[in-house]
Amino acid sequence: MTEQSNKLRQLHKLSALVLLVFITMHLGNHLSGWFGIDAYNQVQKAFRVVYRFPPIEILLLCLLGVQIVLGATLLFKSLRRGRPRGFWSWAQVLSGGVFLFFIVQHLWAFYVARAAYQLETDFFWASSVMGGAPFIWYFIPYYFLAVFSVLTHVGTGVRYWVIDAGHEKVANQVGIGFMLAGALIGAAIILVLTGALYDIPLKPEMLEYLRDFYPEYTPPTN
C-alpha cells in the first residue's frame, strides 16, 4: 500500500470517528420512534440544538462530503488493485459502496425537502415514503441497507483495529457483532417508520411532495 493510500486511510478513519458521534445520535433518534411520534420529534428537537447549530452543521456536512470523496477514492484504488479477497474485504468494499450510494441520495433528498419544498424534515418526512407502494419497495431496502451498511463498514474498520491491537481471536466476533447490530437496528427503524407499531398520519404537504414524484400515489387507507 502506497504512502499516499495510507494517509487517505488515516484521514478516513479520523473523520469516521467524528461522524460516528452524529450517526449514533441520528440512529438513536430513529429508534426513539418506538416510544411514539412525539418522542421522536422531541428527541430530534433536542439533538438539533447540537447538529443544527450553524458552525456544527457546516462542519458535519463538509466532513461528510470529505468522507464521501475519501471513501470513493479508497474504493476505486482498492478495486484497481484487484478483486477483494476473502469475506472481510468484500464486506468492507460492498458496505462502503452501498453506504456511498445511500448517503449521496439521502443528503440530496434532505436538501431538496428543505430548500425546494420548505418541508419540516421530522418524523413525518422520514415516514412519508414508508406508507405505501410504490415508495416502500424502494425505501424499505434503502433505509435498512443504510443502517446495515454503515455499521458493517464501521465494524470491518474496528475489526482491523482489534487485530492490530493483537486480539485476533475476538476480531471476527467484533466484526460480526457490528453486522448483527446493523441488521437489528435497521429492522427496528423500519418497523417504526412503516407504521407497524402505531398508525402514522400522512400530512397534506407530504402527500403533495410524494405526488410530485409519483402523481398517481394514493396512500393506503387504515
- Name residues contacting ligand HEM, limited to 9-38 (CB under 6 A): 19, 23, 26, 30
Q: 8, 70, 91, 126: which one contacts ligand HEM (CB under 6 A)?
A: 126
**8 A C-beta contact, residue 186 and residue 143:** yes
What does the per-residue mask of binding to ligand HEM show for 174-213, with x meaning CB under 6 A? Answer: ---------------x------------------------
150 binds ligand HEM (CB under 6 A): yes
Question: What amino acid is encoded at 165 in this protein?
Answer: A
Greatest alpha-carbon span in the chain: 59
The phi-psi region of residue 112 (left if phi > 0; otherwise alpha if psi is between -120 and 50; otherwise beta) is alpha
Residue that is written with C-alpha cell 447490530 in the block: 181
- 3-state secondary structure string, 78-124? HHHCCCCCHHHHHHHHHHHHHHHHHHHHHHHHHHHHHHCCCCCCCHH
Shortest Å distance, C-beta 121 to ligand HEM:
4
Q: Phi, psi (5° rounding) for residue 53? A: -65, 115
Shortest Å distance, C-beta 221 to ligand HEM:
24
Q: 88, 101, 110, 160: which one contacts ligand HEM (CB under 6 A)?
A: 110
Whole-number Å distance between alpha carbons of 145 and 142: 5
- Identify which range of 57-65, 73-81, 152-160, 209-217 contacts ligand HEM by CB under 6 A: 57-65
Q: 147, 171, 200, 206: which one contacts ligand HEM (CB under 6 A)?
A: 147
92 binds ligand HEM (CB under 6 A): no
Binding site for ligand HEM (CB under 6 A): 19, 23, 26, 30, 44, 48, 51-52, 57, 60, 64, 103, 106, 110, 121, 125-126, 143, 146-147, 150, 189
